[in-house]
Every structure is written in structure tokens, then in C-alpha cells.
Structure 1
Amino acid sequence: MEGKVTWRQGMSFTGEAASGWRIPIGTSRDHGGHDDGAAPMELMAMGLASCSGMDVISILKKKQQAVTDFEVKFQIERAKDHPKVFTHIVLEYVVTGHSVDPAAVERAVELSTTKYCPGYAMMKQVVPIEVKISVLEA
């Protein structure tokens, strides 16, 4: 995997992956930024949630579950002192659909968090991750 971040101004960067996709990276005004991009730690959290989320939705599609909406919510606590690392992560998988089997969702999340998601595998080595699952009828 290759990529780069290029400084734009102040505390603003553009991140670019080898695939060519770009994303604005920045920080809030009260941290010296311009409010013009996602903060680096936000990107790490979104990366974790989307990495696992892609596994889960892929598995649910293979299990022919009638999913109409899906999101992975995250709540992250950080240390008060620098470097303000993540100290606790809660991931909530919210699956909405027609007669979605809760056991299928639980198994999909289990496979993601124990076998497939490299983001989860890396993060769980350094911070406790709590998992919650909600299955809602559309």
C-alpha cells in the first residue's frame, strides 16, 4: 500500500491513496486549523468502522439477508494527556431490513472481528473494543 499526504496550508493536507482517491485532512479552528477536513484520528476511527462494515455487509449479502440500511456507529474515548491515544472503542452495528436474521448479523460481525478485518485486528491489540449489535425491521 502506498500513498501520501500533501500540505495545503496551515494544518490542512490532502491525503491521496495509490488508487487516486483523495480526502481532505485538517483540524478545527480551535486547534489551529481551518475546519476544512476530517481530523487524522477521525479518519482512523472511520477506517476501523468502514473496514469492519464492509466485511459485515458483504457477508450479509452472501447470506441473502434483505438489508435496506446499515451503519457502524463508533464512540471513542481518548486519553486526556498527549498523545491522547484511544482508550476505549465502542462499535455499534445497526442493521435495518426485512426479516433480517439476528443470528446471521451476529455471525457476520463475529467473522469480521475475529477473522477478516485487519483494522480491527490491529486496533484490538492496543485498545479495548466493545461491540454492540442492533437489528431493526424496515
Structure 2
Amino acid sequence: MLFLLNDSVFEVGPTLMSGADARRFDRLSFDFVVEMGCELFAEDPLLHRNDPERALRLACLIAHREPGLNAALFAAPAENCAPELVEPRFAVLPDEILKQLQNKARRGRLDAVTADRAVWGRMAA
């Protein structure tokens, strides 16, 4: 399954969160996972680019806690800001949109503005 995290597309699937890992994280609520995501992005607003492995784990946790969700945006105003200032948003996108975004990413054409226009619409108007 494809998962959009900010402006990066990740492959998440059952093999990434299976067995012991899945059981270990079953106790975490969705709210806790969101809070953790806000803390991570408050520290580094470009986490999805600077630490893709950690970002992939976050994407897996989100998808595991809320099946069907396949897009998340954690908008942090500045590096090392308060986690309360990070604005999380979530979406369920059609597979075709995710595939288009993945293709753009492979060609080096997926950035925050492109992802925003395609999904979030925060910069519109």
C-alpha cells in the first residue's frame, strides 16, 4: 500500500508491521501515534526527507492504527517548535492519486507545493 507522508510517498504493508512489531504497537492509540508524529515533526519539520526510515515507521503506525488512511501531513512552523504547534491532517486518497504522486517522486518532481495542490489545498487562494 502506498502512503503519502507530507510530500514523500512510502510503501507500507503488512510485512512491515507484522508479528511481534504489530503486537507491540497494538496498545498505542491513534491519538498517541498522532502526538508522537507531532513531536517528531516539531523536532525536524523535514523528517520525511532527513530520516526516511523513521518517517516510514510513523507511516506504518498510522496505517496500522487507522486502516484506510493513506495520507498524513504534519505541518510544523519551525524546527524545534512546540509539538502543539504542529498541525496534523489526514486523508484517504484514491490509489490513482497516490500512484501519480509516486511517479512524480520517482522523477524528482514531488515537492511540498505539488503535494499540497494535489491533496491538502492549504496553499490555495
Q: TM-score range by the shorter chain?
A: under 0.3
Q: TM-score, normalised by structure 2?
A: 0.25
Q: TM-score, normalised by structure 1?
A: 0.23
Normalized per residue, the structure richer in strand is 1
Determine which structure has more spread, i.e. the larger CA radius of gyration: 1
Structure with larger RCO (C-alpha < 8 A, sep 6+): 2
